[in-house]
Amino acid sequence: MSQGAIVDRGDAYRRIAMLSARGRKLLGVEHAILGGAMTWVSERNLVAAISNAGGFGVLACGSMTPDLLRTEIRATRELTAKPFGVNLIVMHPALADLIEVCGEENVGCVVLAGGIPPRTAMRRVKELGATLIGFAPALPIARKLIRDGVDALIVEGTEAGGHIGPVATSVLAQEILPNVPDTPVFVAGGIGRGEAMLSYLEMGAAGCQLGTRFVCAAESVAHPDFKQAFIKGAARDAMPSVQVDPRFPVIPVRALQNEGQRKFIEAQHAVIARWRAGELDQKAAQLEIEHFWAGALRRAVIDGDVESGSLMAGQSVGLVKEVQPTADIIRNLIDEAADALIRRAAADLSAAD
C-alpha cells in the first residue's frame, strides 16, 4: 500500500488536515471552514459558535455604525477565545472608521466584500496587522487583489445566497485555483456537504466558506419561521431576483421565492410605468426600485416575516434538513469528507484485486 493511503477514519482525517493545512494555518483554526457573513444572521452568537467548533466565524458588519461594530466585536469575544474575523462592505460610507475599529479591537482578520476594495483601505488593514481577505469574481481581479496585498482570496459562485455574480462556483474554481498557487483561496457558493469541500481542497483550495448551511444552526438567532423556510426549501426555490427592464438595473439577489419576490416584480413594472408617464425621472425611479427591499432581510430573519421579507439563501438550501448545533454541522461536514475518502480507497482496493 502506498505511503499516505487511506486505511481508516484516522487516515482520512489526517488527509483532510493536510489538504487544508494552508487555510488552517492562515486562520489559526482546526478546520478551514469560514462562516459566510450573512447580515442579521452572522452576529455574535453564530460567529462564536462556529469558532468554538473549530471553524472560523466571521461577523457581518453590514450597515452597522462603527460604535455598533465595536460592541458586537467585544460581545463576540466574550463568547469565544478562538479566532474570528469581521466582514466589511467596501461601499459602506464609514469604511475607514470601521477599519480603525477593527484595529483598535485587535481583530485578527478583515474580509473586504461587496466590490473591489480601495487600495487605501487594503493598505490600512495591513498596517493594523490584520490578515486581509478579498473576494475575486474573476481571475484578473484575483491577480489585482494579490498585487495590492491580500493574504487570501474567496471565490464565490452564483449558487450562493444574497448578492451574486453570474459564474458558477465550479467554473470560478477552475479558472482561479490553478493560476494563483501561491495565495490561499477559499471556495464558496453552493457548498453544503463535506464531499464538495473535499473536491475543492483536492483542486487546491485552502478551505471553503459556507453560509446557508449555518442559518439553521441552533445558535443562530434567525427566527424559527425563517429556519423552517430553509428546511422546507429546495435548491430550485432559491432563485435570483428578476430585472424587468435593463434601463433600471437590479443587482441579482438569490433568495427563496415568496410573495415579496412576486411583489418586487410588480413594483418594478409600476415604477417604470410612472417613469414612462413622466411622473418620475430616471434617478428617482431607480432609487424607488432599489429601496423596495429596505429592511426586508431584517423583517424575515429577526421578525419571521417569511411572506414579504427577503429569504436570502444559496442553492445549497436544499441540503439543510434540520436545526442542529453548530458543532454537529461542522463535524458532519468533516465526517462526510472522510467517508468520501474511505469509499474511494475501498473502491481502489477492490479494483486492484
Domain range summary for the chain, segments of one domain joined by +: 9-222+322-346, 234-312
Task: Mention every residue, 6+ apart, whose C-beta is less than 8 A from residue 297.
Answer: 39, 40, 309, 310, 312
Q: Do residues 283 and 274 lie in contact, with contact meaning Cβ atoms separated by under 8 Å?
A: no
Closest CA to 186 of 107, 85, 79: 85
Domain 9-222+322-346: assigned CATH number? 3.20.20.70
Q: CB atoms < 10 A from the CB of 140, how many?
A: 9
**Segment among 72-86, 208-222, 284-298, 330-344 with least mean pLDDT:** 284-298
Mean pLDDT of 181-200: 98
State the pLDDT confidence band at 4, using cuts at 50, 70 and 90: low
Q: Which residues pair with 325 in a beta bridge?
A: none
- 337's CB contacts (< 8 A; 6+ apart) are 12, 16, 194, 195, 197, 198, 201
Amino acid 251: pLDDT: 86
Cell digits of residue 323: 436545526
State the average pLDDT over residues 42-47.
98
Position 235 pLDDT exceeds 60: yes
pLDDT attached to residue 3: 47
Tell me what pLDDT residue 99 has. 98
Mean pLDDT of 122-144: 97
pLDDT, position 353: 65
Q: Is the pLDDT of residue 2 over 50?
A: no
- Please check the confidence at residue 187 and state whether its pLDDT lies above 50: yes
Instruction: Give tens-digit pLDDT for 79-109.
Output: 999 999 999 999 999 999 999 999 999 999 9
Question: Average pLDDT for residues 171-200, to the nearest whole number?
Answer: 98
- pLDDT at residue 134 greater than cutoff 80: yes
